[in-house]
Structure 1
């Protein structure tokens, strides 16, 4: 990834958080955190990693709502960031947070077992 695509990604992350949090009124969209944005070197595609509070159904509904709002989100990004062409947006769940939580749970379980064996 180039320095420019990194900078565009950081700028998009900031703007997307603002747009999703304040501008979109879709009831399907829950509490969303934009965790990262990876922009391709040619600035054509932006992978937006999100984490969503809630169960699997709420997560899926949020993804559907965001997909439906993609056009609006992209045009808002276009207004806020000066680029020749606004990148195509792809939303994906940030699995690293779930993975980290799972590891933390396993470690806690091991610690509890250790205490009981003493």
Structure 2
């Protein structure tokens, strides 16, 4: 029997990420939401729940974005049930992915440390 490199939850999560990316993009355009994108989808082992991680272009509007997406989650789920070949589409829970913000903060700190080190070398 061949070994499986990916679990079913990984495959379902990848498909959900592709489909939800399109749906969230359309919702941003149609509902006037702050610009955001789907960064990852984690599906529970029993395929009942899916945590959808989103990143916002403007981090200060992230709470409003996540709240709006959670209110639209039922519509997204209905649309996914029509487009995907799953017996039961998982319940969607949108969460903010702050890893991009943390990465930008670390990058800025490293740049500032490098600037300070180069100014110390010059003096």
Report the TM-score, using the length of structure 1 for normalisation.
Answer: 0.90
Distance 1:21 1:44 in 2: 24
For each residue in 1:30-86, what CA deviation from the matched residue of structure 2 results, as whole angstroms up to 9, or x when unmatched? 111100000011111100000011142x22221121111111001111111111111
Q: Which stretches of structure 1, 4 residues or more, deviate above 6 A after TM superposition?
A: none
Distance 2:54 2:64 in 1: 13
Q: Give the unaligned 5+ runs of structure 2.
A: 1-5
> Aligned Cα RMSD in Å?
1.4
- Quote how far apart the aligned CAs of 1:89 are: 0.6
Aligned length: 115
Match of 1:49 in 2: 53
- Quote how far apart the aligned CAs of 1:23 are: 4.8
Match of 2:31 in 1: 26
Aligned counterpart in structure 1 of residue 115 of structure 2, from 96, 101, 112: 112
Q: Which is greater in Rg?
A: 2
Q: Give the unaligned 5+ runs of structure 1.
A: none
Q: Which one scores higher on RCO, CA 8 angstroms, separation ≥ 6? A: 1
Report the TM-score, using the length of structure 2 for normalisation.
Answer: 0.87
**Contact (CA 8 Å) 2:54, 2:97: kept in 1 or not?**
yes
Match of 2:3 in 1: none
Match of 2:74 in 1: 71
